[in-house]
Amino acid sequence: MNFPKNYADLGYVRVAATAPYVVLADPEANASEICVHLERLRDDSVTIALFPELSITGYSCEDLFFTSDLHRATRTAISRIASASAGIVCVVGAPYLTDDGRLLNCAVVIADGEVKGMVPKSAQPNYGEFYERRWFVSGDGLDLGVKDASLGEFRLCRDQLFRLSGMRFGIELCEDLWAPEPPGVQHSLGGAELILNLSASNDLVAKADYRRDLVHMASAQRLCGYLYAGAGPMESTKDVVFGGHLLAAENGQPLGESERFQLEPQTLIVEFDIDKLRHDRMQNTTFGNAKRSVNHRVVDLSMPTRKLSKLKRVYPKHPFVPTDEDEFDAHAREILNIQTTGLARRMLSANVESLVIGISGGLDSTLAFLVCLDTLVKLGKGESVSPLVIHALTMPGPGTTTHTRDSVDRLCTATGVTLKEIPIGAAVDQHLADLGHTDTTDVVFENIQARERTQLLFDYANKVGGIVVGTGDLSELALGWCTYNADHMANYNVNAGVPKTMVAYLVRWYARHRADESLCHVLERVLDTPISPELIAPQDGEISQQTEKIIGPYELHDFYLFHYLRNGFSAEKIYALAIRAFEQAYQNEEIKRWLGVFFQRFFTQQFKRTTLPPGPKVGSVSLSPRGDWRMPDEASVDRILEDIDKLP
């Protein structure tokens, strides 16, 4: 299925940074090389092609920059590139001599056969191996209207932005990024979603790491996309070597990076999500309230972004879970530290030494139980846990299976925690009789069990002078998959910020890195158990009520949740990305069906989130009504569901 027909309609723009083969002091040869790249990039639906600093002449021409022959050849080369620029924006580096005799290091913006503007470099490095002030002057504060006989009419100005189908980009040149007040900061505040950097930064030991950090942090600080094109190894190597470093980052996240020190031309092609950047800026009031001190000129390039029938950008199926194992290891430790520190602080505040937790043999309560164990260690209780400190309750009811009941026993045995069993069957029967209710398959029957268990937990906490530790996770809160004023409640919910996909990974990580052999076996057993509330009677002793068959796969819902809350994506865009991410796992009809379920439940179940108990935020997505997510209980979902119905 060809959906969507054009990813550009969903906010994407494809751009490229290229470190071409450079012939020093030969603009004609370099123009030919750049034109070859432009043709190839245009065929690949690239909208903006970025080349390094002084790429038309080469950066390391030294005193040849003073020769009139080089400047005449440069103008001819720019004109040639302009004639080859139909349908693509080309940004190249070139020296430019003004009528009043100032030589500037410029970025030349070319589109549809014309020079649309030149942006001069502001910061001229004149230290160490750099001595740019020998040739160039700063463009800081410069704003000239240029009428050039060969290049046409344009502005030569640092503080100008270029508009393309509604998006805007600004330009920095190399050292501008290193400067104490980078011009790109005001470019971003002025509306540039994308910053392009033409650079000629030589390579030294560890300099690439520093450069990479600068690009990533610049994109994060400015909430922008950042594309960096560094000069390659064909520059002069008389005293320094240039690696041809190409980088792309979006609001602090790396999108791509080239190999360095390649003698052949290198190209990095990425897609920036302009809609996401606008959402991030809209949501960030620090950015919105920042002072705008520059009045930028805006140059309309009068051309659309290129159509994108396919997307190169990859979206992971599990956006909450890092794909890199080392990164996940660090995340797992961090999340558990946040959970345990939050719970420890609550215990100190409440002046209690008892934690009361209901254990079901499922994933969520198992993770919460592990957090309780680690919390006691943090508070100095030692490795041996006293039964007077953790009160583990299991409350089997009509839907409890032997499998999960055995898992609870094994979990407590492996950790040395005394388990107390309080069956709720008789209480449920009495409650049904009091209500005059006979149906044992409906929501009344299910909720009676959930509320009976919660009542027991709170009453037991009163008895032992402890607090009730909640176990429900972020995904369940998003879907409202909890009983109001039952498992919905706790004194402190340690899993409130952890989505279901992350819960599973954390338990698996704990089994591999923290558990002894006996505990590891129990955790693996829990991981292999189907997710279920176990509120309906088992069939032939097996779990009869599987959550993911009722409300859909949690990995889909976590994907929807992340992109709706974190990125503000529309249902159409989420659907398009889910099709790509899960093409081997689910049919499109399934993805569409569960997308409708997600939005239906997310909107109609907000009333449960409005009254959530406290719990720690562990990632960038949270549903706390006191923090990240505030939404009226009565918000209508009809329009979104209608949009989903129209999806192919």
Q: Decide: 612 and 478 in contact? Cβ < 8 Å.
A: no
Segment (H or E) for 271? strand 266-273
Amino acid at 125: P
Q: Nearest 5°: CA angle at 10, between 43 and 229? A: 50
Interatomic CA distance for residues 135 and 329, integer angstroms: 50
Three-class SS of residue 348? helix
Task: Determine which one of 33, 90, 106, 121 is catalytic.
Answer: 121
CA distance 14 to 564: 23
The number of helix segments (H) and strand segments (E) in the chain equals: 21, 20
DSSP-derived pairing of the beta strands 89-97 and 114-120: unpaired
Alpha-carbon distance 392 to 421, whole Å? 9
Distance CA 95, CA 59 (A): 10
Residues 6+ apart with CB under 8 A from 122: 138, 139, 140, 158, 173, 176, 179, 183
C-alpha 5/C-alpha 611 separation (Å) is: 42
Instruction: Indicate if 381 belongs to the active site.
Output: no
Q: Is 67 helix (H, G, I), strand (E, B) or coil?
A: coil
Place of tokens 């706390």: 624
Rounded CA gap, 201 and 262, in Å?
Answer: 15
Count CB-CB contacts under 10 A for residue 596: 19
Structure tokens at 453: 């268990």
Distant-in-sequence, close-in-space partners of 255: CB < 8 Å, separation ≥ 6: 225, 248, 249, 270, 271, 272, 313
Q: Do residues 199 and 171 lie in contact, with contact meaning Cβ atoms separated by under 8 Å?
A: no
386 Cβ contact partners less than 8 Å away, ≥ 6 residues apart: none
Tell me, yes or no, if 121 is annotated catalytic. yes
Helices 363-378 and 517-527, axial angle in degrees (round to 10):
150
Q: How far apart are CA 389 and CA 234, in angstroms?
A: 68
Q: Are strands 194-199 and 225-230 parallel, antiparallel or unpaired?
A: parallel
Catalytic residue among 53, 172, 446, 572: 53
Q: What is the longest distance spanned by two Cα atoms in the chain? A: 100
Residue 83 to residue 38: CA distance in whole angstroms? 11
Q: Any catalytic annotation for residue 334? A: no
| From 174, 224, 372, 482, active-site residue | 174
Tell me how crowded residue 206 is: count the other CB atoms within 10 A of its CB.
8
Residue 407's SS3 state is helix
- Please answer whether residues 414 and 514 qualify as being in contact, where contact means their C-beta atoms are separated by less than 8 angstroms: no
The pairing of beta strand 194-199 with beta strand 152-157: unpaired
Residues with catalytic annotation? 53, 121, 174
